[in-house]
Each structure stands twice: as C-alpha cells, then as structure tokens.
Amino acid sequence: MLISMNWISEFTDLKGVDLKELINRFTLSTAEVEDIYEMGKDIKDVVVGKIIEINDHPNSKKLHLVKVDIGTEVVDCVCGAPNVFVGAVVPFAKLGGQVGDLLIQEVKIAGETSKGMCCSEKELGISEDNSGLMILDENLPLGKDIKEIYQIEDTIFEVDNKSLTNRPDLWGHYGIAREISVLTGRPLKPLSLMDTSVYKDLDPIDLKVEEDEKTFRYSCITVNQISVKKSPVNMRIRLTYCGMRPINLLADLTNYLMLELGQPMHAFDHGKVSKIRVKTFSKPVNFLTLDGVERTIDTDTLMICDEKEPVAIAGIMGGELSEITDDTTSVLLESANFDGTSVRKSAVRLGMRTEASARYEKVIDPELTTLAIERFLKLLLEIDPGAKVTSSLTDCYVKKYETIMIRFDKTYVDKYTGIDISSDQIENTLTALGFEVRRDGNDFEVKVPSWRATKDVTIKADIIEEITRIYGYDNFEIKSTMSLLTPIRHDVNREDEYRIKQLLAERFSLHEVHSYIWYESKLNKEIGIVTEPNIRIINSVTAENDTIRSTMIPSLLGFVYKNVDHTPEMGMFEIGRVVEGLKEDGLCNERKKLAIVLASKKLSEKEVYFKVKDIITQVVNTVKNMKPTFSRDDKLKNYNYIHPINNASIYLKGENLGYFSVLNPRVRNKIDKKLNVVYAEIDIENLNKVVAKEISYLEVSKYPGVTIDLSLLTDKEMIYDTIAGYIKEYTCEYLKSFRLVDIFEDEKLLPGKKSVTIRFEFVSMERTLEGQEIQSMVDGLLELLKEKGIELR
Amino acid sequence: MLENLEQLKLKFNHELNLVETRDELEKIRVAFLGKKGLVTEELKNLRNLSGEDKKTAGMQVNKLKNEIEQAIVSYQTVIEEKEYQKEIESAECYDYSIPSENEAGTLHPITIVQRQIEDIFKTMGFIIEDGLEVQTEYNNFEAVNIPKNHPARDMQDTYYLENGQILKTHTSAAQNTIMRKYGAPKPGEPLKVLFPGRCFRNENIDASHENTFFQLEGMMIGDDISISNLIYFMKVLLSEVFKRDVKVRLRPGFFPFVEPGFELDINCAICGGDGCPTCKNSGWLELLPCGMIHPNVLRMGGIDPDRYTGFAFGLGLTRLAMMKYNIKDIRLFNSGNLKQLKQFTN
C-alpha cells in the first residue's frame, strides 16, 4: 500500500521529523516499508502563467506560437496542446527549470524559438491526464511557483501488504497516522466530520438486509444537486500518488475515503438505484460489472440489489448500469461492512480481487461505516457547497462485535518479555494506540479500540505485542535462559539413520537421492512398472501423479532410467516415506523406508545381486551388531518388477525388514537391456524395533586352533543355509566356527551335485587339541551330515 | 699346522672375494665350517696334539673359525644389500598420476545442511524430532491456531487425500504431537526441540517453486521463556549456522501460531549491513519467521499457557541449501540427476 506523507501530516504533525528515521522505526514497530519514493523533486521552476496571445506556427498545423505572461515578463513559447486558448491559466516551466527528466532550455521547435513549456498534468507527474494543458484557476497569482499552490512534492512510502494482513486498521492513512503519532510521540488530530444528526428528520432510504449471515452493517445516505464534476487538484494528486486513477468527483471521493479510513464505499447513481436489498440469489444470475464484463454470480455470493435487479457484488465491485457518470447529479452512497471470509471466497470464485475486497478480507471495523459517510459529506460539501443531503443516515447494524476487555499485570509483561518495561510506559503506549486503560498500580484493565477488536487483539499475548513493538525490539536486552544442566536425550534411531546414510555413501559409494511421495505415473508407464492402487490426492495440480506410493522402488527405478544414458554404473539410496494403505482408525499407515538400487553394465547380475546382499548385511550389522537372515517366502507382493526367482526377504530377530530382488527382465529391458539392476527396500521402523546387540567380549583361547577344510558333496538345489543348519545341529564344544570357502559346480564331473568347501576351526580353551581328537570330531560331523545326504567329496 | 692355518685363511679370503650370491656364500660356509669343512677338520686334528702345542694351536684354530664366521655374517649383509638394490633397480616404475577410479558416494545436499544444523542445536541441548508427512487437518491447521476459513486453508495450496488427511504444508504440523509427547516441562528444564521435515504445497513446479521441500522448525517451552531469550538464541544459533557474528533484527510479523510474531532479519553478509543489491539496499536480509508460541497452541498441546511460555521459529531448509551451495534451480533437489547430485561430496 502506498502512503502519502502529506496526507499523514494532515492528521499528525510531522514538522522537524526525520522521515527516513521515522520510516525505519515504522518498519521495526509496525509493518515493513519496501520502498520510498520522493515525488515532485523533479519539478522545478514551474510557475502560474497566463496565455495572452496565440499565433499560428508558420511550419506546423498542430503547433502554435503563444505568449505567456508570468507576472514579471511575457515569454514566447511553442505549444502543441489542443486545448490552448487565450486567457488560459496554465503551469509554465521557465528556462532553467525542470519537468520530469526534461531540463527546460531555449530550443527551436520546427524553426521557432521556445523559451519554456506549458505543461499537462501528466508532465507534472500528478495524473495520467495528457489530453491537453492543465488548466488552472484563473484567480491564481501569475508567476507563483506551482509547488507553493499544489502538493506536488511528497514522500510516498510503500508498505508491504503482506505485513498488514492482520492489521485491518492500517489499510487507510488515518490508521497509519495513528501508528506514526505513537512512534513520534505527537498527538493524533481528530477527523473533521459532518454531523449527520441534522438530517435525522429526513426520510430514510428503503433498506433491507435479507442476508444477515454475511452482513455486519449497511449504512447509506443520498445526496442531490451535485454539480462539481472534477475533484480538486490536491485530491487528484494524492489519489495518483497512492496508485488510484482519478475519474470524477464522486468516484474519486469514495476512493479517497477508502485510502483515508480503509472503509470501502460505493456511489450508486441515485437516479438508477433508490432502494437497497442486501441478499443472495437462490439461482445463479448474470451481472454486468463496471469493468464491462458480464459475470455469472453464484448463490453464495452476497449481492446488493435495487428492488429486484442486482446493482453491485457486495464488497467487490459495482455494476455498470448504476455507475456514476458525468451526468450524475444525485448519489446513493453505500458504506457497508460485509463478512470478510464470505467476500474473500466470492472474490476467489469470481477471480476478481479488488481494492475493496482486499480490505473486507482483513475484517475491518464496522464502526467505520457511518464515520466514513460523515467524512465523505464533510469533504463533498466543502468542494460542492450546493449539494443537498436528501435522506437521513440510514443504518442497519446487523452484528456488533463484543467489547473486548483484557486484564493483565506487570509481572505478566515482565515474564513474557524478559525485560523490565515500566508500568507508566505500558500505560502511555496503550493509551496512545487508542486503548482505554484502567490502571491500579501494576494491574491493568484495558478496553480494545473497535478498530483493533475485529480479530486482531483478543488476548493478553496480543497486548504484549502492542507494548513490545512500540518499545522496540532493538532496544531489548538479550539474555540466555537459566536452566538446569541435564543430559540431552540420545536418539538412537536418528543416529542410526545418519550412520546408515554415511555407510552407504562412504563405504559403498552410493548417492543419496530424494524422490516424490507419489507415483510418477507417466514415467512408470514408460518403463512398464505397474503399481498397486493406494490412497490418492484428490486435488493435485498434476493430476496424473495423484497416487501416494506404497513403495519407493518405482521412484528409484525411475531415477535409474533417467541416469542410465550418462551414468550406467550407479548406486542410489533414499530414506523416505510411503503409505501402506490405511490403518484401522482410517488414517494413513505411513512408513519410513530405506530403498537401495544398484545398476551396472560392468558387473554381472549375480555380482550385483551379492553386492546388494552384502550392503544389506553391512547396514544391519552396523546399527544392530547382528547379521540379518534371508529367506524366500510368500509374503512378497506380486509387483511386476520383482524377479520371481531371484528375490529374498530380509529378517532380523523375527522382524521382517523387507526384501531385495533382481529387477524383472520385463522392466529391465525397457530401461536398458544390458543393465543389471538389483534393489532392496528395508522398513526402517521394523529395523528400529530390534534392539541392538551389546558388544560382549569373549576370551580368546591361549592354545592354537586347528582349521580343516572339508569339501562336501550336496544336491545342487541345497542352499547354503540348509547345510549350515545341519552343521549347527552337531554339538561339539571345540567346533568354534565354520565358514564357506568355495562352491564348485561342474555338470560333467558332478552331475546334479555341487561341492561346497567349508572351513572348520576347532579350538579348546584349556589345551592344545590332539590330532586324534580332532579326527574323531570331524568323523562325528561327517556322520551327521551323511544322514542328511551330504557326503565328503 | 700354523702355516696350514695361514694358507686356509688366504684361501678363504680369496674365495670369499669371488662370492656374489647367498647360495655361493653358503657353499663357502659349508666348505670351511661345515661338518667336514676345512676348519672343522683342523679342529679335529687338534686331538693329535698335546700340552702347550694343543693349547696354542687350539686358540689359533678357534680364532680362525671366529674370523671366518664373522666375515661370512658381514659379507651376508653386503650381499643382501646388493640383492635389495638389484630388486629395487629392476622394479617397475608406477605412474602416480593415473587417476584413482573409486568414486565416492554422496549425501543429498539437504541431508548435509540438515545435519550441520542439527549438530549445532544438539550442542545447545535441543532434541531432534521427526514428524509424519501425511497429517491430519487438525495437526496441520487447528492445532496451530489456523481455524477453518483462514486463507491459509484454501484448498488450492494443500494436497488433500481421499481419507481427509493432507500432506503437511509446514513443519508446524508436528508441534502438537511433540508437545503432547513431552508434556509440560519441569521447572528449569525447558523443552528444547528441533523438528526438520518435508513439506508439500500443491503448486506447479518451476526453477523457484517446488511442491516438495524441506523446512526446519524449533521451539523452546519453559516456565520463563521470554522474547529476550528468543533474540538471544536466534543470534547465537544463527551465528553458528552462518559461521559469523550475525546481527539479528526483529520486526512485527503475523503468523497464526505465534503471538507476538516476528520476521527475523540478519545483517547482509555481502555488504555487512551498508546496503547492496542483494539486500535491496536495506542492509538486512529477511531470513525466518519466529515468535512466542500462541497461548492457544500451547493449550491445544496440553500445556498451560498461564504457567508456560515458549518461542518457535522456522527455517526454509531447502532455501538455506540453495543459499549455501549457490543452487539456482530448486528442481535439482528431487531430480535424482546424478550428474548434479554427485557433486555433494562431503
């Protein structure tokens, strides 16, 4: 919002105030000032001049040679304005003067000498009007500097609208002036108003508020015999400087009042609108707004109507048919207060946020409506003394906000602020802001002024803000808290997450990625991934990505596809969220997962498979000090990207942690036929359920151990876990450990069989084992294995 | 006999001079000192002598034996040295400039920045908490004092799910859960929590807009937490984050979940506060929203606002990572593009 300092100084004295410092204070205490514009500094030596003679220009039909009397002399000047006439009093820029970027010098225009320039309003920067010369009051003294007559020089500052969201009182100059008066410590002058009680005996307007849910207050009055069409220059300058286009007196006055008090007003042509009905329609209606657009109005949108026909969209925009025109001499003036939420929603639905609707959205003070009418009349009658008020002030006050009283004491303020602000200062600040303060020592009871009581200030904490922002946060003494020295809670799971990330990145050279929480359906289709239905987003702007993922694997496979052309050797991981359907209470079953994918063209599929298995084992072992077990089971879902044979579930202490799998060739070939891809998904929460094993140190034997490699002949289908299981059945206190050394397969040498070489270590804590003893242990083991169909090769 | 020993000595020295390898040396050792070696033979011959002669001769033979033994040992060192020399001289010279092939893995830039910030807060006694990404409307809105009809709740910004839940629009969605989890703090032991998280806004993506981004929020609740404390913590923490002595400035700002609410600015690092294009000549950069937790929010979190006060602040983690790494296009973060992401070696 643009704020004029000239306008402000009408309400509070700014003489001798350092404006830059004031604006800085305003930013720190009230709202952010984004920009400061110095207006009129580029207008110099423009004086009142009278055109006393006009001659044709010998070389141009459009240009004229004019003589301008500027009091002290008569100056020759070439003028191209269409509205030039003898006797016209105009702003005249003298030699050496300045108009905007133009420095006035003696020049030849089409061969004729010009020693100055007659100016339009636009050239002076005071309006957009460039249709011709600005015609001044003929009684003005010739030669007088125009800046001494009109408020061309002004400081305009732009306040960030966002920072005014919760301050409905600051959407007009008077409210800003109140803040500034508090910041400068100077008084705020009362508004000059027209007393409307003198019209109380006139007939009221026929007004009915039929929709009282959406209306707080509707005030109106009619005025006839208005003859002045154009607003005074200073008013037009202010409107222009504050971003509004001057139109005609009545429209300008409504805008002026909105900028001054923050109260939107609307002027209907009284000849076309004589009754007011505030209502909604039971069926959608078409309505032509004053911007010339025909709109369909839905049944939730509050409308202002004459007898039957709509004449305005309440709080948003008037209609073209009842608009003020140059012929209008009588007006029905609306000053109303509509429900902010309703106006906002209507404005959003209609796609038309206006200056008025923006103010209603902020929930403005309903006390303003009659005040604005009284101010309007005051200004109108000053400008046009012949105008006649023809109705009483008609006012339907539907809903009044309750008076808000707040009690607090200094202790509360001290505790909240952490500093010592004196009770006197508290009282002074609140009083200056318009609060009625009742104080008993350090106890306060304050009444919130109506302009802050619509939603802004309701509780004690709001009072703290009022006191502290005026005190100034930059004046705060800053202090640490006093608290007991206590150990910080140690979050093992969170640490583990970082350890896993670090392990994957640093030891296994994987890259961490982030992917979206929904399936990217186009991409999935491209690489042939079929996902199961899951809970969906109902309003996504990218409608095709509306299904929340139940697994992260498609996301990562999508990344494999995106990277394969430039980085075929890749490893990626992500710790992210999925939703596995709904829980019993109807809420999403959100899970945290670790997904890993490895792809390679250099390594064989089998190598990649075992690399992934190794990674999983190391991940689990790093955080839990235990190795996971793997098995094939039927719990896996039948996703089309899972390899039906080369997959395995991961278990730890009975918890199912997830699975890993070779990429199904059907999907693989869509990504890249030569790419070997293996992926894994681990449920982090299930992993967290398992308590990590403590380190338990075992004494090492002082005596040498004996290792023996045995090559065992088994059926080809027998997996290592089975063999290991049999070996574990053999109870022998000296068999300390065993591990796989080699698997040898040769269809010719060992048809249907394979040779599995396992290294056994025998050791005793008490003595060196004898050769014979060991032999009998080996024999015992082999005997057991023989029963299981495993022979020594 | 003594001449014989002289000759033996000469013979040994002569033969030793011809030795080049360890094997040849061993042969000489055997030839002189072995079981049937020449010196050994002389020792055997001693039994043919007697008395003073035997004693003298014995001393001489033993002396010779010692001399030969020592000569062999020291010559052995010489030969070993020669052999090492030979191996080294014939070694292949490796090209140290051949690039190492093993490429390091990387963490996501968000993880790196998040971790750094978490570490700073941990040293100040903050607990780190994790929230859900799918939230109830209550947690995301009502519980942080954003009632129905508030503009922030207009449908278009929020992803709504079929079951009425939403994807959280800000980390504040975790406030209520955290307050309820820890309850009212004990006297002198304020609750200090930091909760980073992924947030979602239903909007189209371009270089500066993402629908999925990270925020980080912190709060401190206790029986005497004040605005003065808030300024202190922000100044100290942000100085750590930016690794310089940061100046902070508070301005009034409106956020439903705090009262009073502030916009916090820090002095511009580029110009040091004098004004430059980066800070639009103000000397200050708007960094984060913060404020004293709204009494309604405390109450809904089961904490009595008449006894306890607290402050909260939020920080755009994604924005911070962009600042830190000079990332111009926000789409990098969720792209999975390894050409970009593998630069974040930490």
User: CA-to-CA distance for B86 and B91, rounded, in angstroms?
Assistant: 9
pLDDT of residue B79: 87
CA dist B235 and B246 (Å) reads 6
Query: Is A567 in contact with B339 (Cβ distance < 8 A)?
Result: yes
Q: Is the CB of residue A662 less than 8 Å from the CB of residue A647?
A: yes
More confident residue, A129 or B231: B231
Name every chain A residue with its beta carbon within 8 A of the beta carbon of B190. 481, 483
CA atoms within 13 A on the CB side of B141: 19
Mark yes or no for CB contact B198/A577 under 8 Å: yes
The confidence score (pLDDT) of residue B64 equals 86
C-alpha triplet A522, A527, A533: angle, nearest 5°: 60
Closest by alpha carbon to A301, among A283, A319, A288, A289?
A283
Cβ within 8 Å, pair A509-B104: yes
pLDDT at A466: 97
Strands (E), chain B: 127-128, 134-135, 166-167, 191-200, 212-222, 248-252, 258-267, 284-293, 309-316
- Residue A784 is inside which H or E element, if any? helix A771-787
Q: Interhelix angle for A423-432 vs A410-417, to 10°? A: 90
Spatial separation of the C-alpha atoms in residues A596 and A615, rounded to whole Å:
9
Across the interface, of B203, B227, B338, the residue whose CB is closest to A468 is B227
CB contact under 8 A, B336 and A558: yes
pTM score, two decimals?
Answer: 0.87
Residues in chain B with CB shorter than 8 Å from the CB of A523 are: none
Q: Looking at the partner chain, which of B133, B236, B254 has a beta carbon nearest the beta carbon of A577?
A: B133
Q: Is A477 exposed, middle or buried (0-12, 13-18, 19+ CB in 10 A)?
A: exposed
Closest among A128, A140, A121 to A81, alpha carbons compared: A121
Which residue of A lies nearest to B130 if distances are taken between CA atoms?
A494
- Most B CBs within 10 Å: which of A362, A507, A514, A523, as the mutation test of the B interface? A514
94-113 in chain B: CB under 8 A from chain A: 102-108, 110-111
Alpha-carbon distance A209 to A304, whole Å? 9
Q: For position A447, what pLDDT does the model report?
A: 98
CA separation, residue B61 to residues B58, B116, B192 (Å): 5, 80, 91
Using the Cβ of B224 and the Cβ atoms of chain A, whether some distance falls under 8 Å is answered with: yes
Of residues B106, B115, B294, nearest to A511 (C-beta): B106
pLDDT of residue B346: 62
- pLDDT on residue B1: 62
For A692-711, what is the HEC assignment?
CCCCCCCCCCCCCCEEEEEE
Q: What are phi and psi of B158, to 5 degrees?
A: -110, 135
**CA B310 vs CA A464, A518, B179, B192: distances in Å:** 14, 36, 11, 10
Does B84 contact chain A (CB < 8 Å)?
no
Contact A259, A413 (CB under 8 A): no
- CB distance from B336 to chain A under 8 Å? yes
From residue B12, how far is each of B18, B29, B33, B40 by CA, in Å?
10, 10, 11, 14
B132 → chain A, closest CA residue: A590
For A243, residues 6+ apart whose C-beta sits below 8 A from its C-beta are A2
The answer to whether the peptide bond before residue A554 is cis (omega within 30 degrees of 0) is no
Nearest-CB residue to A461 (from B115, B252, B295): B295
**Distance in angstroms (rounded) separating the CA atoms of residues B32 and B10:** 12
What residues are paired with A271 via a beta bridge? Answer: none
DSSP A654: T
List Cβ neighbours of A552 (8 Å cut-off, separation of 6 or more).
A515, A574, A576, A578, A593, A595, A681
pLDDT bracket for residue B3 (50, 70, 90):
confident
- Cβ contact, residue pair B309, A502, below 8 Å: no
Tell me, yes or no, if B134 comes closer than 8 A to chain A by beta carbon: yes
Length of chain A: 793
State whether residue B253 sits within 8 Å of chain A by CB.
yes
Q: How far is B173 from chain A (nearest CA, A)?
A: 15
Three-state secondary structure call for residue B197: strand
Average pLDDT, chain B: 90
Question: What integer pLDDT is reported at residue A518 of this predicted model?
Answer: 97
Q: Would you call B128 and A494 a contact, using CB atoms and an 8 Å cutoff? A: yes
Q: What pLDDT is recorded for position B2?
A: 66
pLDDT at A549: 97
Chain pair A-B, CB pairs under 8 angstroms: 224
Smallest CA-to-CA distance from A91 within A99, A101, A102 is with: A99
Average pLDDT rounded to a whole number, residues B46-53? 82
Contacts of A601 (CB under 8 A, 6+ apart): A568, A569, A672, A674, A675, A676
Cβ neighbours of B261 in A, within 8 Å? 465
The pLDDT of residue A289: 95
Burial of A338 (0-12, 13-18, 19+ CB in 10 A): buried
Calculate the CA A609 to chain-centre distance: 46
β-strands A735-744, A753-762: how paired? antiparallel
Q: Residue A566: its pLDDT value, please?
A: 95
Radius of gyration of chain B (CA): 42
Answer yes or no: do B163 and A587 touch at CB < 8 A: yes
> What was the pLDDT predicted at A501?
97
| Alpha-carbon gap: A335 to the closest alpha carbon of chain B (Å) | 25
Residues of A in Cβ contact (< 8 Å) with B105: 504-506, 508-512, 571
B259 with A464: Cβ contact below 8 A: yes
Which residue bears the tokens 């209606």? A285
Q: What is the pLDDT of residue B51?
A: 82
Q: pLDDT digits over B151-196, tens only? A: 778 767 899 999 999 999 999 999 999 999 999 999 889 999 999 9
Confidence of residue B48 (pLDDT cuts 50, 70, 90): confident
Residues of B in contact with A515 (CB under 8 A): 334, 336
pLDDT at B32: 87
What average pLDDT values come out for chain A (793 residues) when binned by 10 residues? 97 94 94 93 95 92 93 93 93 94 92 93 89 92 95 95 91 97 96 96 96 95 96 96 95 97 97 95 95 94 93 96 92 97 94 94 96 98 97 96 96 96 97 97 97 94 96 93 83 93 96 97 95 95 94 97 96 98 96 98 97 98 96 84 94 96 96 97 97 93 93 93 93 91 92 94 93 92 93 89
What pLDDT does residue B104 have? Answer: 87
- How much is the pLDDT for B155? 65
Using a CB-CB cut-off of 8 Å, the residues of chain B touching A165 are 254
| Residue B163 touches chain A, beta carbons under 8 Å | yes
Answer whether A498 sits within 8 Å of B115, measured CB to CB: yes
ipTM value for the complex: 0.88
Nearest to A486 among B130, B165, B189 (CB): B189
Tell me the chain A residues in contact with residue B102 when contact means C-beta distances shorter than 8 Å.
509
User: So what's the pLDDT on residue A502?
Assistant: 96
